[in-house]
Structure 1
Amino acid sequence: MPYVSKKTEPGFHFEKRNIEKILNNLPDPIFVTDRYGNVLLSNSTTALTLDLSLDQLLKSNIKDLIRKGYYNKSYALEATEKKCKVSGLLKTKLNIEQISTSTPVLDENGNVIFVVTSGKAKQKTDKCAGNANQEVLDQRKREIEYLRSYVLETDKVVAESMSMRKLLFRAHSVAQTDSTVMLYGETGTGKEVLAKYIHRHSKRSDEAFIAVNCANLPEHLVESELFGYEKGAFTGASSEGKMGLFEAAHGGTLFLDEIAELPLALQSKLLRVLETCEVRRLGSHVDRTMDFRLIAATHKDLKKMMEAGLFRSDLYYRLEVIPICIPPLRERPEDILVLALRFLEGFNKKYEVEVEFDAAILESFQSYSWLGNVRELRNAVERKVINSLQEDSVGMLEFNLAENSCFSQYDCLSLLGSDGTLKEVTRRFEEIYINKVLRKCNGRIGDAAEKLGIYRTVLYRKLKRFQEEKDRSVN
């Protein structure tokens, strides 16, 4: 009979679903293994740090995870062997460093029944360990609420590549604070998407998200738009006055995109708002106290602009609290397929068509440099869908027709190339089947690799080889 407080409401039982709720409301990694290293219970935070889904983790054994490189060692296995509590530093597949503590639970004969393992972020531990001031410790005690879901809101954010997974993990951690975030990235990389992601996962998520593109505001209207104005403040002003965007963001998040375009004169006023948390409307003598979280973004190098005198150094250092750099699309080709297929699904619904991309198109997407990044990819997909409305898109459907014939007729060898060697025919079949599975998985490399029963890196190598062979045949 488990020990349960007498204060527990009647009818409450620690069933598995209740235990799962408790685990998933803990902010740090925690999981339970048996004496053989099989994972019995876990929260989604643990799975995220290992780059696994929760279902995958719950089917895993610790020894296999170490062998496959999901993390460098296990203190759970050591605790089982030593039959005592052990802890130490470990590093996960995502290069996340944690202080891991494993505590064995023994039966009456001293045998290990199961092991409870919990983790703490190394940075958090390091910062708190040497600080004796209890007030500071209390301030830093607020735990980071890590991602609860492995899919990372797939309807909003694509993170198939390792670089984007790490970036989202960092962004989600940062979201729990009120610190100013400075987003860097080329045009079209999705800076506003990431800013919204941070807002959605912050304690301000129920409040407003106000996005302002500093480059689109006419210079003579920037100040009135940001700060607002009282009635009669200037010629043409509304007779009722107007609330500024700073005020509109009160309680929520203010996103200043293209902040490098903010005029120098207004940079000093923005700095004052950030330092004092006060806003004064044009034509007013009253300061209004504001409470908003600032996220800024630019595609330019603010440090170089500061050194050239084009951006205020004091504002630069005020903004550069938590810099996050979004990698360009060409540096994360794993995300291209997923994005392309997602855009295709959206445009098919919008234009009420059923266009499909063959393997050649998807491979050409991956090999292209995409200087316009995600925005350029989206435009390219829409252009292909629209073109399909105006012409007979045989080329786009060619692969599907061949594939359907291959799997619906007995004479599939003619389609695969019966004149070739066994190796050549097998390779052709492999390419067709891999691309079929990829489409079924909506381009998600991880899901496709799992269905195919191969490692993700093996799948990448095969796709690369297919492309290289096609390039050689063209040349």
Structure 2
Amino acid sequence: MKGKSKSYDNSMENVTSERVDIFDRENIRNILESLPTTVFVTDKEGNVVISTSFTAMTLGLSLEELLKSNLKDLVERGYYNRSYALQAMKEKKKITGVLTTKAGFKMVSTSTPIIDDSGEITFVVTGGRPQEIIDNLNTQEKKDKVKRLKREIEYLRLQKISNEQVVAESIEMRKIFKTCYDIAKTDSSILLLGETGTGKEVLSKYIHLNSNREKGPFIIVNCAAIPETLFESELFGYEKGSFTGANTSGKVGVLEIAHEGTLFLDEISEMPLSLQAKLLRVLDNNEVRRVGGTVSHKVDFRLVCATNRDLAEMVESGEFREDLYYRINVIPIKIPPLRNRPEDLIALVDKFLMEFNKKYRRRHKLSSTEVQHLLKHHWPGNVRELRNFIERAVVTNHENFERTIDNHQIQNKMISSTDIMDCCSTVGNSTLKEFMRASEEKFVRKILAECNGKIGETAKKLGIYRTVLYRKLKSYESKE
């Protein structure tokens, strides 16, 4: 019996050891982040020791800021009107109540103290849900509001809006941010123009955070990342039973989720023509009708669009609706490429070095000569490319920086002189537009071959989205 008991104990120790391995720090963090509620843990002094990015977002803070905070300070600074965690700590019992956050969320919060064998509090665990979801709602209007709130939470959990300091050292960028600050309080539609990676999303967040809608949702929709077959249902939502495979309870679209907030349509140029007309109708009437539905729902959002393409040229070629173009192009803002903003480039290099040195625990530095090499580079991928390059430099700790930047330039070079001559001989006396299309197709196929036909790797190397690459390849095939 004793031997059997010892064997049993050993087997239990192995099981326990395996479970400890499964629930490591990273797995626990992923589990917490997947929860559809706010959740954070504080120590006996009221310091936040564990939290999720969604919890931080409801308070109007970044996760990093929240993890450095104390509950008393948060209440004093108005991030929420009261703390049930502090009350639970004081009374040594579970406390539930309603509180309002600085970001405008009304939450039903429950704080539970963890008490040790000596009767002392070690931690307090707090969780919460929006009050509208918990209330007993009967009317159809209120039920629709609940659906919208649930979908809003799904979207907002994936987004991290913070008051992160933007880099604007150049005169051009300072003028742009001054303009954005001045127009943020209006409801005029804004069109952000600029090459890929110039910071259009950062600028849209800045506009939202300085607008009268800052307490409302900020919804990002990447038009290039949504399959064309799902575009309408994603934007407009659908009623239950609208089509095969639809959610049995229906789905609220992002246009409704953005109600009383800001809707950012990135890569608007990639929106299908059939959807452009429907979007225009929404903007004109402030109403949305879900797929398969007969009832219109009122919407009120501020629209910010962005593109790295020439929409006016697309209008001329019939690829973009002229009426929608004029509707979204009320206030156009063109962001200059990084190569024309040396002051910003230097400031960004400094910022990224600090970020990645801290992240990877390095002390990487750049000499003045190395900075000069960075200033000479064309940076076709702009801020995004610069950030990736600095991360690579910090991680690999390159000894020959000059060779590294030269190799980087060669890898990102768009098309060689030989390729151009080949295209000239192929296209012959065709128009400039036909020549550009032929050049693009040759280069895309070349990169695709180098990546052994891997779509994801090719799209990343080209600096475009997978869906955009699929569309281009499909257009090449239909031409053959």
Instruction: Give me the TM-score of the superposition, normalised by structure 2.
Output: 0.49
The structure with the largest helix share of the pair is 2
